Chains A and B, each alone.
Chain A
Amino acid sequence: MSSRVPRASGYFRTRYDGYLALTQTRLERVSLIVFLAALIVFPAVASAFYLDLVTQVFLASIGALSLMLLTGYAGQISLGHAGLLCAGAFTAGILAKEWDAPFWVTLPAATLSGALLGVIFGLPSLRLRGLYLAISTLALHFVVVYLGGEYETKRGFSTGITLDAPVIGGWTVYGGRVWYYILLAAAAATLLICLNLLRGRTGRAWRAICAHETVAEALGVNVAGHKLLAFVVSSALTALSGALFAYYRGFVSVEAFSLFLSIQYVAMIIIGGMGSLLGAILGAAFVTIFPYVIEAVMLMLPNAQSYAGVLFAVNYAAFGLVMVLFLLFEPLGLVGIWQRIQTYFLLWPFKHKPLSGGRR
């Protein structure tokens, strides 16, 4: 993970713990602390709108990180991510609505249902590869969303389920700032889980499967088990993010979990950059903020009111266009751009890395 990042001279790993450490240099530690401090201070200075925006980025990054584990590292394509979010949101919603289950029951239950669904989503992966796997997850997405819709109509919540604000120990979780910190913690925990999984044996096994299944099997990796594990971990985290989404919005409806949402999550990891956790977060931020940027630009145009009705269409078109442009011209995504900038400054005044084999 970190070995790809180019470094200036003077930093050499001399022990194996260097490979396993979360942060490598003092600069990294300092910038991490500064970044965290900025995130913690942010609600004190931001307006409600920006607070909501960043909170949405946190929510999206949980989903994007878990999809990145599955697609970016384990190499299993999934187009059914919205189905898993839907499952998590509905598990939390149904438990809270039907049995008045508290927050600390619904969240683990949603995670568990995600894990179970992960097994179901993952079972086809034992036989299918590539395209066919993507299709099977796509089909499962439709099935899960149908079940959610069926519950809504059968129980008479045809517009959706409303959720009460969760109560933890007699204290009601309410307000943008509280949710900001909860979701920040959740996103940070997800990132840590992903990092820990990836720098250990499991992550190496996933990368081996992604690179070549037969070779991985020959090297003694339990391919079937690790594929299923990737699906289970990813789905459980996604369902958790779905449940958090339901509580944050206070409302669950199948309309929110269309195929477009699945595509948005896939777009996050494509735009961010495949095979990089940083990419997942960058992509989540990009895709979440993008519609608001489009809206702001549209409002700046003359005659803004007349465009209001077609805003969603402009959003669609622009989103599709950006995705096409990234696929065509920057397949490595935002991380690729970032790495190129880093390399530029590292090598300056030279343009290219010295050819390997030549004298350094």
Chain B
Amino acid sequence: MQLLVNIIVLSSIYALIACGYVLIYRVSRVLNLAHGELMMLGAYLLLTTASLFNGNPWLAISAAVALSLAVGVMVYVFLMRKMTGEMVLAAVLATVALGILLRGVMVLVWSAQQQYPGQAMGFTSTALALPGGARISLFAAILVGVTALTYLALFVFLRFGRWGVRMRAAGQNPLLAAQRGINLHGVYALAWGLSTLTGSLAGMLIALDSGLTGSMAIIGLKAFPAALVGGLDSLIGALIGALIIGASEVLSIQYIDPLLSDVVPFLVLIAMLIARPWGLFGTREELDRV
């Protein structure tokens, strides 16, 4: 039972991070390898707003969320906008370079020590007992809920929202979308903003649950196989992929070797790339477009 809970918690962490990869890839065909760092930045922003709005945690959280949205938009406007139309490698490397830059800046600003934004905001983590003798920490439970809500909101937004439809159109065929009067730069900026926002949510919740160190970006990178296994342009795929990755990671830690935890996602990724590179739910013609 505890195993199942662990799987669900880890999968929802991965799912919440992976939807950021999917959003950006689906709309602009760029792979954002700085996602882990952006997610960490969100967590550090929460740390800052927590000390800024002392004693008012909800204000702090909403300020941090708004700030992370702004960060995502800024990343697009100042960096990725200039990379449109460049080689795939150049755009991906720009995100890699951004990640390195962010990592250095974050250590400079917030130092590399482990920090606990939860304590700064006066939250205490309690363990909830679930039927079946399993335990789950409060923040982990919140994280599962937030993931479910985020996916629900994204589905509704992409299906019915005015900007959601525009985003899908821009992803399907940028040229035609632009012809129909859709503001491509606006759509791309929105995608980057939303992706950073969901990533930051994940980062904040992980930081609340287990503290904040410089190694958090690794989690972001490990969530990437989840996005790819499900198919880089499919949200449902990201959800299922996260379940597969989360389950295989938890099970292999439990039954094989704890050291495996860092490679299992990548082993699954390699197996998927060999068998079905476009992922479980991805569209196939994409491979030729890349």
Tell me if A149 and B259 are in contact (CB < 8 A): yes
Does residue A290 face the partner (Cβ distance < 8 Å to B)? no
The contact of A331 among B86, B221, B262, B270, by CB within 8 Å, is B86
Does residue B166 face the partner (Cβ distance < 8 Å to A)? no
Majority DSSP secondary structure for residues of B touching A: helix
Alpha-carbon distance A149/B258, docked complex (angstroms): 13
Q: Which residues of B contact A143 (CB under 8 A)?
A: 263, 266-267, 270
Does residue A270 face the partner (Cβ distance < 8 Å to B)? yes
The contact of A270 among B93, B99, B224, B228, by CB within 8 Å, is B93
Q: How far is the CB of A208 from chain B (nearest CB, A)?
A: 18
Q: How far is the CB of A179 from chain B (nearest CB, A)?
A: 30
Does residue B152 face the partner (Cβ distance < 8 Å to A)? no
Tell me if B259 and A266 are in contact (CB < 8 A): no
Tell me if A140 and B90 are in contact (CB < 8 A): no
Tell me if B108 and A317 are in contact (CB < 8 A): yes
Q: Which residues of B contact A105 (CB under 8 A)?
A: none
Alpha-carbon distance A146/B83, docked complex (angstroms): 34
Does residue B3 face the partner (Cβ distance < 8 Å to A)? no
Q: Which residues of A contact B102 (CB under 8 A)?
A: 320
Alpha-carbon distance A153/B90, docked complex (angstroms): 37
Alpha-carbon distance A77/B100, docked complex (angstroms): 19
Q: Which residues of B contact A140 (CB under 8 A)?
A: 266, 270
Q: Which residues of A contact B221 (CB under 8 A)?
A: 259
Q: Which residues of B contact A153 (CB under 8 A)?
A: 259
Does residue A134 face the partner (Cβ distance < 8 Å to B)? yes
Q: Which residues of B contact A128 (CB under 8 A)?
A: 273, 277, 287
Does residue A131 face the partner (Cβ distance < 8 Å to B)? yes
Tell me if B103 and A316 are in contact (CB < 8 A): yes
User: Interface 1/0s, chain A 212-233, versus B by CB < 8 A?
Assistant: 0000000000000000000000
Task: Determine the interface band of chain B, counting residues with CB < 8 A from chain A.
Answer: 35 or more
Alpha-carbon distance A130/B90, docked complex (angstroms): 11
Tell me if A266 and B266 are in contact (CB < 8 A): no
Report B94-127 residues with CB < 8 Å from chain A CB: 94, 96-105, 107-108, 112
Q: Which residues of B contact A149 (CB under 8 A)?
A: 259
Tell me if A139 and B266 are in contact (CB < 8 A): yes
Tell me if A310 and B287 are in contact (CB < 8 A): no
Alpha-carbon distance A319/B93, docked complex (angstroms): 13
**Most chain A C-beta atoms within 10 Å of own C-beta, residue among B104, B225, B287:** B104
The contact of A135 among B83, B98, B273, by CB within 8 Å, is B273
Does residue A328 face the partner (Cβ distance < 8 Å to B)? yes
Does residue B82 face the partner (Cβ distance < 8 Å to A)? yes
Q: Which residues of B contact A323 (CB under 8 A)?
A: 93, 96-97, 100-101
Q: Which residues of A contact B270 (CB under 8 A)?
A: 124, 136, 139-140, 143
Tell me if B94 and A324 are in contact (CB < 8 A): yes
The contact of A139 among B83, B99, B260, B269, by CB within 8 Å, is B269
Q: Which residue on B lies nearest to A139, using beta carbons?
A: B266
Tell me if A324 and B287 are in contact (CB < 8 A): no
Tell me if B97 and A142 are in contact (CB < 8 A): no
Q: Which residue on A lies nearest to B273, using beta carbons?
A: A136
Tell me if B88 and A130 are in contact (CB < 8 A): yes
Q: How far is the CB of B289 from chain A (nearest CB, A)?
A: 9
Alpha-carbon distance A310/B111, docked complex (angstroms): 8
Does residue B156 face the partner (Cβ distance < 8 Å to A)? no
Alpha-carbon distance A77/B87, docked complex (angstroms): 11
The contact of B97 among A130, A131, A134, A320, by CB within 8 Å, is A320
Report A113-145 residues with CB < 8 Å from chain B CB: 124, 127-132, 134-136, 138-140, 142-143
Alpha-carbon distance A314/B105, docked complex (angstroms): 7
Q: Which residue on B lies nearest to A313, using beta carbons?
A: B107
Q: Which residues of A contact B107 (CB under 8 A)?
A: 310, 312-313, 316
Alpha-carbon distance A138/B273, docked complex (angstroms): 12
Does residue B79 face the partner (Cβ distance < 8 Å to A)? yes
User: Interface 1/0s, chain B 39-60, versus A by CB < 8 A?
Assistant: 0000000000000000000000
The contact of A130 among B103, B224, B267, B290, by CB within 8 Å, is B290
Q: Which residues of A contact B108 (CB under 8 A)?
A: 310, 313-314, 317
The contact of A327 among B90, B267, B290, by CB within 8 Å, is B90
Alpha-carbon distance A129/B87, docked complex (angstroms): 13
Alpha-carbon distance A259/B107, docked complex (angstroms): 18
Q: Which residues of B contact A317 (CB under 8 A)?
A: 100-101, 103-105, 108
Q: How far is the CB of B84 from chain A (nearest CB, A)?
A: 12
Alpha-carbon distance A259/B104, docked complex (angstroms): 15
Report A215-274 residues with CB < 8 Å from chain B CB: 259-260, 263, 266-267, 270
Show the binding face of A for B, using Cβ within 8 Å.
Answer: 71, 77, 124, 127-132, 134-136, 138-140, 142-143, 146, 149-150, 153, 259-260, 263, 266-267, 270, 310, 312-321, 323-324, 327-328, 331
Q: Mind listing 22 A-B residue pairs with CB under 8 Å?
A: A129-B287, A132-B290, A134-B89, A134-B92, A139-B273, A140-B270, A142-B266, A146-B263, A259-B221, A270-B93, A312-B107, A313-B107, A316-B101, A317-B100, A317-B101, A319-B100, A320-B101, A320-B102, A321-B97, A323-B97, A323-B101, A328-B82
Show the binding face of B for A, using Cβ within 8 Å.
Answer: 31, 79, 82-83, 86, 88-90, 92-94, 96-105, 107-108, 112, 221, 224-225, 228, 259-260, 262-263, 266-267, 269-270, 273-274, 277, 287, 290
